[in-house]
Amino acid sequence: MLIQHLHGRAFVRGAILDDVLVTVGDGVIADLVQTADVPAAAERTKNLIVPGFIDGHIHGGDGADFMDADDAGNAKILSFHARHGTTAVAATTLSASPRDLRGAVAAIARASRAGGQICAIHLEGPYINAERAGAQDRSSIRPPDIQELGTLLAEAPELPWIVTLAPELPGARALIEHFHGRVKFSIGHTAADYRVATLAIEWGASHFTHLFNAMTGLHHREPGAVGAAMVSPAATVELIADGLHVHPAILHLAARMMPNRVALVSDAIRACGMPDGTYKLYKHDVTVTGWAARLDDGALAGSLLTMSAAVRNMVELAGLPIESVIPLATEVPARILGVADRKGRLERGYDADVVLLDDSLGVERVFVKGMERS
């Protein structure tokens, strides 16, 4: 179904307004006004109209993973997360062999060109610290490689890229400086202390992957990578708001301390949306029980989170008002991924990516470029 006119309460420019008329044409928002004078053909809704959610760190869902390099599987991931309100993603890879990584990137590029929701690629590894690998395959971790990254970038030169790396590794500075301006470098899976993390920002890194997780934490005498993120006013960060990776009180604190710099992410794996059981995360077996996915040693292995659940958790668990949470899933990630000129807001000329939320913040309907997804 194609929407043409939608009328109701909407989140517009930081506030929830009544009587907003959203007019869609050719997949974009043709007009947006606050008015009680509604065309006869307009669809009236009692749901809250918000911009589509944007996920900058997503591995999979509904039984598929971007590392599978499978076109049908990639379509499955996008369809599943669209049903939960995610209208744009940075398809995310893991540390893997050069061959597997290139195959995954090539498949992601094909999916993007086919007109899906992929608007960026996030390379989470392989240039990370094995001591902070988390659920990543340690045998696939390797030093930063300018030639390898250049080859990968050539598979999808039209897309924005995020590359997660550990800045303390030999060659990290050279990689950051070589691709500065072409790649957004994100500090993550790192043993870097405060000094090194701060230096990495000076070299050109500007983002932090799943803040607090797989990095040196905040201590009053050792601020760690977390401290570097908090005091660097231009740095942006990811938060996994599943209530497991980060305590709700810290979710609240981080969002309050870093206004306009926090992006919610799912870090969802193939088990997202699937029943309890054992699933593959590249070479690892991951056991899913309830809301947690863990390795045999008990370590968390990605999440089972959707972006709609992340938004709800920030309100219900972290205690933040919905008006301050919506930008964390829309405007901030759009800016991080370099698509803020067309996504992340309900605004004239922007893509008609629209989500309708019920009173419990559940997703009722989703439109991607004006077309309803079900």
Is 296 assigned a catalytic role?
no
Q: Which amino acid is at 336?
A: I
Element of type H or E holding 115: none
CB 343 within 8 A of CB 351: yes
CA distance 69 to 140: 17
Tell me: cis bond preceding 126? Omega within 30 of 0 counts. Answer: yes
CA distance 110 to 209: 25
Read off the DSSP letter of residue 159.
S
CA distance 33 to 53: 22
Read off the DSSP letter of residue 36.
S
CA distance 21 to 36: 8
Query: Hey, which residues does 238 pair with through a beta bridge?
Result: 263
Kindly give, in sequence order, each residue whose CB lies less than 8 Å from that of residue 249, ignoring residues fewer than 6 positions away. 318
| Selected catalytic residue, list 55, 68, 267, 351 | 267
For Cα atoms 95, 101, 106, give the angle at the middle one, nearest 5 degrees.
145
The sign of the dihedral angle between the CA atoms of 303, 55, 223, 124 is positive
- For the chain, counts of helices (H) and of strands (E): 10, 21
Active site members: 267
